[in-house]
Chain A
Amino acid sequence: DQQVKQNSPSLSVQEGRISILNCDYTNSMFDYFLWYKKYPAEGPTFLISISSIKDKNEDGRFTVFLNKSAKHLSLHIVPSQPGDSAVYFCAADDTANTGNQFYFGTGTSLTVIP
């Protein structure tokens, strides 16, 4: 059973506009969330994270929002650039669980059109 879901397999955005990528989760014990970015033929790289004690975290053009009551997080990229074109995975963790594994969504492929 998929505990983390990204319901949009793909997204296209014009350069300079906002990209919004969404992620939903089912496990209320998840308390730490991350976004990874992946280019073809490369490993994923860490982008931004958020703990459940916050509802927003910013890093430059990237902002992650967390809505715990809705079990929903989103990644905003403003302004979007062609180099942002990649697959984005959200991941969630229950840090009290000693398993130390993240649960990943299925990914959203973002295309930023110049």
Chain B
Amino acid sequence: DVKVTQSSRYLVKRTGEKVFLECVQDMDHENMFWYRQDPGLGLRLIYFSYDVKMKEKGDIPEGYSVSREKKERFSLILESASTNQTSMYLCASRRGGSTYGYTFGSGTRLTVV
């Protein structure tokens, strides 16, 4: 069964900490994405990557960075966590050049205190 795996379901971090959210997919997909979901705001794109070592800013990249050293892994980094980054974070992957949809991970509920 193909999947996107996010390393943590729930995380609690302190303000100012550096936070790493990991995402791994086993489908050999070229494209990977990080979204955050907040009530009333839907899914907002933070960063995406269409190839190893490539990254593109989404709609809300401020306060975040990403790393894609291997095709299967896409990491989201909160350089200095703040309370307004408390959210549900969703990783997704998609085969390049296709009309297929995303495959999402189960999400990470991050709380910054």
| A43/B104 in contact, CB under 8 A | yes
Q: Interface-forming stretch among B12-20, B65-73, B79-87, B105-113? A: B105-113
Q: Which B residues, 1 to 46, have Cβ-Cβ distances below 8 Å to chain A?
A: 4, 6, 9, 30-31, 33, 35, 37, 40-43, 45
Tell me, in angstroms, the Cα distance from A107 to B96 when the chains sit together.
25
CB distance from B104 to the nearest CB of A (A): 4
| B90/A44 in contact, CB under 8 A | yes
Tell me, in angstroms, the Cα distance from A44 to B36 when the chains sit together.
12
Among A41, A44, A46, A102, point to the contact of B109 (Cβ < 8 A). Answer: A41
Tell me which residues across on chain A come within 8 A of B103, comparing CB atoms. Answer: 46
Q: Interface-forming stretch among A61-69, A77-85, A93-101? A: A93-101
Tell me, in angstroms, the Cα distance from A72 to B109 when the chains sit together.
32
Chain B's interface size range is: 20 to 34
Tell me, in angstroms, the Cα distance from A107 to B99 when the chains sit together.
22
Tell me, in angstroms, the Cα distance from A3 to B101 when the chains sit together.
18
Tell me, in angstroms, the Cα distance from A104 to B94 when the chains sit together.
15
Tell me, in angstroms, the Cα distance from A98 to B94 when the chains sit together.
12
B64 within 8 A of A: no
Most buried by A among B40, B58, B102: B102
- The residue in chain A whose Cβ has the minimal distance to the Cβ of B90 is A43
| B97/A101 in contact, CB under 8 A | no
Tell me, in angstroms, the Cα distance from A63 to B13 when the chains sit together.
42
A12 within 8 A of B: no
Tell me which residues across on chain A come within 8 A of B31, comparing CB atoms. Answer: 100-101
Question: 16 A-B contacts, Cβ less than 8 Å apart?
Answer: A41-B9, A43-B106, A45-B104, A46-B102, A89-B42, A89-B43, A91-B101, A93-B99, A98-B50, A99-B50, A100-B30, A101-B45, A101-B48, A102-B101, A104-B35, A107-B42
Q: 13 additional contacts, CB 8 Å, given A36-B104, A98-B97, A106-B41? A: A36-B101, A41-B109, A42-B107, A98-B50, A99-B48, A99-B50, A100-B31, A100-B50, A100-B94, A100-B96, A101-B45, A101-B48, A107-B43
